[in-house]
Amino acid sequence: PLVAVIVVAAGSGTRLGHELPKAFVPLSGRTLLERSLDSVFGMRDASQVIVVAPEDRLDEARAIATERAGAAGGYLDVVPGGNSRQASVERGLAVLRPDVDTVLVHDAARALTPSTLCDAVVAAVRASGAGVVPGLDLVDSIKRVDPRGTVLAGVDRRELSAVQTPQGFPRRMLVAAFAAATEELTDDAALVTAAGFPVSIIPGDPLAFKITTPWDLRRAELLLATPAD
The nearer residue to ligand CTP, 99 or 184, going by C-beta atoms, is: 184
Beta bridge partners of 6: 50, 105
Measured distance CA(105)–CA(217) in Å, rounded: 22
Measured distance CA(212)–CA(15) in Å, rounded: 6
Beta bridge partners of 132: 168, 200
The nearer residue to ligand CTP, 26 or 157, going by C-beta atoms, is: 26
Q: How many residues does this entry show for the chain?
A: 229
Largest CA distance in the chain: 55
The nearer residue to ligand CTP, 36 or 102, going by C-beta atoms, is: 36
Least CB distance to ligand CTP at residue 108 (A): 4
Q: Is 63 exposed, middle or buried (0-12, 13-18, 19+ CB in 10 A)?
A: exposed
Least CB distance to ligand CTP at residue 35 (A): 12
Least CB distance to ligand CTP at residue 84 (A): 5
The nearer residue to ligand CTP, 13 or 131, going by C-beta atoms, is: 13
The nearer residue to ligand CTP, 85 or 171, going by C-beta atoms, is: 85
Measured distance CA(130)–CA(116) in Å, rounded: 19
Measured distance CA(172)–CA(222) in Å, rounded: 40
Least CB distance to ligand CTP at residue 78 (A): 12
From residue 20, alpha-carbon distances to 23, 26, 38, 91, 136 in Å are 8, 9, 20, 22, 30
Least CB distance to ligand CTP at residue 11 (A): 2
Least CB distance to ligand CTP at residue 186 (A): 9
One-letter amino acid for residue 12 of the chain: S
DSSP state of 25: S
The nearer residue to ligand CTP, 26 or 128, going by C-beta atoms, is: 26
Least CB distance to ligand CTP at residue 1 (A): 26
DSSP state of 123: H
The nearer residue to ligand CTP, 74 or 82, going by C-beta atoms, is: 82
The contact set with ligand CTP (CB under 6 A) reads: 8-15, 22-23, 52, 81-85, 88, 107-109, 210, 212
Using CB positions, name the residue nearest to ligand CTP: 11
